[in-house]
Structure 1
Amino acid sequence: MKTILYATDYSKNSAAALKLSYWLSKKLDAKLVILHVFDLNVALLTPLSLTYSKMEKETYSKHLEKLSVFCDSATGILPDGERMQIVIKENAIVYEGILETQKEMGADLVVMGMKGSSTLKELIIGSTTIAMIEKSPCPILAVPSSINEIALKTITYTTDFEESDLHAIAWLVKNFISKLNATLNIVHISTKNEYAGEDQMEWFKEMLQQKVSFDKLDFKICFSDDIFKELVLFLSKTKTDLVVMLEREKTSFIKSLAHRDLVKQMAFKGTLPLLCFNKEMLSP
């Protein structure tokens, strides 16, 4: 991993995400790009007018100073332009500004803060992060504001035994886990009526071993009629520090979570970082 892109709105949530981004950049020996996207929001002015140009320049300078202070307060480090670089971008649609910067910088990972709302995705992540998960060509790491101690010793990946899962885990081991010397739990949770779940896990193990050479892997299959409760229990028992999920079609695990009342009781809501892969980015 060469470049980590951290996007902020100066909120408390994003301050926690900055601390984790900075920690990861040191652990992974990666450059950290710190981004703020702003909307000039001047409906009566045209982009060609001198007033617009002046206002854009003044707003840019203001955000540049504000972002420098924000970085210093969160990490105690001022960006040097080399290992830590500040980028200010104007775009009315925040996620588009982030995607543009990700492409320009060739970022391998985008880090953002979590926000709260009503559905599963909106409970743990805000609308901009949702858009990034659906469109980003690289993984998205959503970080809760409540994270106190930075330690990614145990990582849990939830699998549905898809080929995309194999690619995601291979990326995870190569770029993340091996460098952090972490343990990876690979878990599949389904109802007791699922056919041949254990056979699928054995097949998945064999396929993964052809792609990944890593000793600190643990495989687990859990059967329960209450997937939420079983997942929460598993995360608690394994003392998971980071949850990893693949963004799938509507019928899959992460999408199905959005339609259950028990989502409001999930233990990792706002307490565990969530790393998400877009399935399309993993297509061969």
Structure 2
Amino acid sequence: MFKTVLFPIDQTRESRQAAEVVANVVKTYSSRLIILSVVEIPEEGESTNPEMTSAAAIAKLLEDAKTLFQSEGINSETIERQGKPAFTICDVADEIEADLIIMGCRGIGLTEEGVTDSVSNRVINLSPCPVLVVP
């Protein structure tokens, strides 16, 4: 049913918590797991968090995630991209023909003010496949 699962990650607690659900789904369906990290390119005048954009930090994040899944007996592939997170996640899902996207959620999209800023809300609306959001 879910041959290919896309797991977009960042350095949030919510991403780490979603990893358990990802492991369960991937094991249950013997899925191919793709771990994605999107480095957001700031628009002119926006400040960035150097921790979130450092190539070394992203490489470590992806390697740590891969190691975590390996310890569960799950092989995974990693992809690093630059761009707007929601659009990039959906583009990659389309490219790899993902059957499911599993992602963590900070909950900011649950308020009216946060709806337009929520990456998970945008992914739900743009995704070429089902999206499982782990609160």
* Structure 1: 5+ residue stretches without partners: 45-57, 145-284
1:69 aligns with 2:70: no
Cα distance in 2, alignment partners of residues 67 and 79 from structure 1: 17
1:88 aligns with 2:89: no
Q: What's the counterpart of residue 17 of structure 2? A: 16
Q: Taking structure 1 as reference, are residues 139 and 27 closer, same or farther at Cα in structure 2, changes over 3 Å only?
A: same
Cα distance in 2, alignment partners of residues 77 and 42 from structure 1: 38
Q: What's the counterpart of residue 159 of structure 1? A: none
Query: Which letter maps to 1:77?
Result: S
Q: Percent identity?
A: 24
Shift of 1:114: 1.7
Deviations 1:199-229 (A, max 9, x none): xxxxxxxxxxxxxxxxxxxxxxxxxxxxxxx
Shift of 1:60: 4.0
Q: What's the counterpart of residue 202 of structure 1? A: none
The 3-state SS of whatever aligns with 2:10 is coil
Deviations 1:58-108 (A, max 9, x none): 944541222212443x5463998xx311111111x1101101110111100
Whose Rg is larger?
1
Shift of 1:30: 0.5
Q: Taking structure 1 as reference, are residues 28 and 79 closer, same or farther at Cα in structure 2, changes over 3 Å only?
A: closer
Cα distance in 2, alignment partners of residues 116 and 132 from structure 1: 14
* Structure 2: 5+ residue stretches without partners: 46-52
Give the conservation status (yes or no) of the 8 Å contact 2:10–2:61: no
Cα distance in 2, alignment partners of residues 96 and 79 from structure 1: 31
Give the conservation status (yes or no) of the 8 Å contact 1:14–1:113: yes
Deviations 1:208-266 (A, max 9, x none): xxxxxxxxxxxxxxxxxxxxxxxxxxxxxxxxxxxxxxxxxxxxxxxxxxxxxxxxxxx
Query: Which letter maps to 1:66?
Result: L
The size of the alignment, in residue pairs, is 124
Report 1 or 2 for greater relative contact order, CA contacts < 8 Å, sequence distance ≥ 6.
Answer: 2
Cα distance in 2, alignment partners of residues 2 and 70 from structure 1: 20
Shift of 1:42: 8.1
The 3-state SS of whatever aligns with 2:71 is coil
The 3-state SS of whatever aligns with 1:137 is coil
TM-score after normalising by structure 1: 0.39
Q: What's the counterpart of residue 48 of structure 2? A: none
The 3-state SS of whatever aligns with 1:36 is strand
Shift of 1:119: 2.5
Query: Which letter maps to 2:131?
Result: I
The 3-state SS of whatever aligns with 1:86 is strand
Deviations 1:108-162 (A, max 9, x none): 0000112123538x69xx7111011111111110112xxxxxxxxxxxxxxxxxx
Cα distance in 1, alignment partners of residues 106 and 96 from structure 2: 26
